[in-house]
Amino acid sequence: MTETTSEPTGQNDVASASPPPPVASLPIDAQAQPTAEPLAEPGSPRFLHEKLIEGKVIEALREIFDPEIPVNIYELGLIYGIKVLPDDSVEVKMTLTSPGCPVAGSLPGQVETRVEAVPEVKSAKVELVWDPPWSKDRMSEGAMLQLGFM
């Protein structure tokens, strides 16, 4: 019996490609989708703890709605990154639909307060970023359906 192995070619290697990871685990560089940058070894108890906190933070963010668009800020694509640090503090990178957004002064504080309300979170820091700029392409499929874009 001859054993054959196939090396990925990097070009259209669809058959051996694994499905894309959930949006929350893509690196920030990959179209600036939401992410958590794991600080612990995958599979370790610490890694699982960080993922649990990340999930609870995402659920908390889904309770915050843009005042002008009836969609939560997570599904709207305003969250660019979530990082759980070793001391259980959380850093969130987010944007707004535009620099002139009427809630530019209040929404980041609301996000910080909501994240800090998660019992496992020691503290939260929110960084408002503008690069890449937000567009409707950042919205989840559910948000696009809800707003009639699909």
Q: What pLDDT, on a 0 to 100 scale, did the predictor assign at position 3?
A: 42
For residue range 47-80, what is the model confidence (pLDDT) as tens digits?
A: 999 999 999 999 999 999 988 888 999 999 999 9
Q: What pLDDT, on a 0 to 100 scale, did the predictor assign at position 39?
A: 59
Q: Is residue 70 part of a domain?
A: yes
Q: Is residue 54 part of a domain?
A: yes
6 pLDDT above the threshold of 70:
no
Q: Is residue 26 part of a domain?
A: no
30 pLDDT above the threshold of 90:
no
Span of 13-17, 52-56, 117-121, 138-142 with lowest mean pLDDT = 13-17
Backbone angles phi, psi at 127, to 5 degrees: -110, 125
Q: Is residue 73 part of a domain?
A: yes
- Segments forming the whole domain that contains residue 88: 45-146
Cα–Cα distance between 118 and 22 in angstroms, integer?
A: 22
Q: Is residue 56 part of a domain?
A: yes
Residue 121: CB atoms within 10 A of its CB come to: 18
Task: Give the DSSP letter string of 19-71.
Answer: PPPPTTBS-TTTTT--B----S-TTSHHHHHHHHHHHHHHHHHTT-B-SSSSS
Q: Is residue 39 part of a domain?
A: no
For residue range 76-128, what is the model confidence (pLDDT) as tens digits?
A: 999 999 999 999 999 999 999 888 888 888 999 999 999 999 999 999 999 99
Look at 68 and 135; give whichever has higher pLDDT.
Answer: 135
Cα–Cα distance between 138 and 131 in angstroms, integer?
A: 13
Q: What pLDDT, on a 0 to 100 scale, did the predictor assign at position 98?
A: 87
Domains: count for the chain: 1
Please return the burial class of 77, using the count of CB atoms within 10 Å of its CB with bins 0-12, 13-18 and 19+.
buried
Look at 28 and 59; give whichever has higher pLDDT.
Answer: 59
7 pLDDT above the threshold of 60:
no
Look at 43 and 61; give whichever has higher pLDDT.
Answer: 61
Q: Is the pTM of this model over 0.75?
A: no
CATH number where 102 lies: 3.30.300.130
Q: Is residue 105 part of a domain?
A: yes
Q: Is residue 24 part of a domain?
A: no
